[in-house]
C-alpha cells in the first residue's frame, strides 16, 4: 500500500519571496520619492526650469532606457543587413 501522508516538504510553508522583494522595492521607492522632493534648477540647452529632483531622476531614466532601446534596434537591424 502506498503511504497517503503528505511529504514533510509539503507541510512547510513556502516563503513568498516575490512578495517580500516587491514590498522592499515599494518601500524603497517611497523613500526615494520622499527624500528627493526638493526643487532644483535645471539648465536645458535653450531654457532653464525648476523641477523636482525626483522628476529629473525619472526623466533621466526614461531618456536612458529610450536611448538603449533605439541603439539596440539599430544594432539588430545592422546585424540583419536591412
Domain extents in the chain? 27-80
pLDDT tier for residue 8 given thresholds of 50, 70 and 90: low
Q: Cell for 51?
A: 523641477
- Summarised one tens digit per residue, pLDDT across range 31-79 is 988 888 899 999 988 999 999 988 888 889 899 999 999 999 999 888 8
pLDDT confidence of residue 41: 94
* 3-state DSSP assignment of residue 12: coil
Residues in CB range of 36: below 8 A, 6 or more apart: 52, 53, 54, 57
Provide the whole-model pTM. 0.60
pLDDT confidence of residue 50: 94
Q: What is the mean pLDDT of residues 15-36?
A: 89
- 2: exposed, middle or buried (C-beta count within 10 Å: 0-12, 13-18, 19+)? exposed
pLDDT tier for residue 7 given thresholds of 50, 70 and 90: low
Amino acid at each position: 500500500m502506498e503511504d497517503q501522508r503528505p511529504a514533510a516538504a509539503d507541510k512547510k510553508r513556502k516563503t513568498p519571496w516575490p512578495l517580500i522583494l516587491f514590498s522592499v522595492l515599494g518601500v524603497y521607492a517611497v523613500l526615494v520619492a520622499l527624500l528627493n522632493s526638493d526643487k532644483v534648477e535645471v539648465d536645458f540647452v535653450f531654457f532653464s526650469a525648476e523641477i523636482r529632483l525626483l522628476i529629473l531622476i525619472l526623466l533621466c531614466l526614461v531618456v536612458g532606457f529610450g536611448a538603449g532601446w533605439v541603439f539596440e534596434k539599430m544594432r539588430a537591424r545592422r546585424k540583419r543587413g536591412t
